[in-house]
Structure 1
């Protein structure tokens, strides 16, 4: 990692597309999802009627609220699969949209940080004490895309 750090959180600004709330559709499991947040939250209820209900939610804020509510039965393996589901969503988002892929690749080797006090798991907790898993996953996806780009360039 370089000393260069890119903080993101809001859907606005140059790096707004790194937010799961950004208005970028993705195609997974044979369906179109309004945002990566829609896909992620719906997978908490994969294979149930709740999955489709969350897929159809009108906005990422609404689907986040629905997914965090414990009125629906959360899948038993959620804690063990949530990182891989986020990887799947982020990979789809940044490979299915050429502009997003270019934006991510253009960050080079910068450290990507979801910077907010609202989240200590997916973000940095606002003070660096959080895990920043979304930033880490974005950097993993970027590394895969860089490797693909360099192997294509080598051919």
Structure 2
């Protein structure tokens, strides 16, 4: 089976980076993974002041709009680091919130697809030909958590 997600209010909406699941990384609390991800486009740039602005905006859509502003200076290594930054945010989200971690684990081996009609990198795009990197990352997070839980259970048994 394939699980499609996109909007927060729809089934599996907790998989969206817009879902209201705060994360804490490096002493900073981010309202959503989207806030975290978009802010990191400006680390070490002349627009670095935008990081605090993005961190403090009310909604993930506002964070996304600020982060996608092409008139701003994104970090030059963004294409090289964006997957690592997304991984850290998504993994932290699912390790922090046991309720949605269980939803992710309950997907079994199902394929997970971000059904974004406009995003052909993180999602599948309107015609389903996109790269679906967010869906693939969620499946990798699912596997990572399973391995982590299995190791923890082995340690308990070994005692």
- TM-score (norm: length of structure 2): 0.91
Structure 1 residue 117, shift from structure 2 partner:
1.7
**Is 1:110 aligned to residue 110 of structure 2?**
yes
Residue 150 of structure 2 aligns with which residue? 150
Residue 100 of structure 2 aligns with which residue? 100
Residue 6 of structure 2 aligns with which residue? 9
- Runs of 4+ in structure 1 deviating by more than 3 angstroms, as ranges, are none
2:110 and 2:126 map into 1 onto residues whose CA distance is 18
1:1-155 alignment to 2 at 5 Å? 4-47=1-44, 48-155=48-155
- Mark the structure with the bigger radius of gyration: 2
RMSD between superposed Cα atoms in Å: 1.1
Give secondary structure in 2 for the equivalent of 1:27: strand
* Deviation string, structure 1 residues 29-48 (Cα, Å, up to 9, x no partner): 21110100000000001242
Unaligned runs of 5+ in 2: none
Unaligned runs of 5+ in 1: none
1:85 and 1:73 map into 2 onto residues whose CA distance is 18
**Matched residue pairs, number?**
152
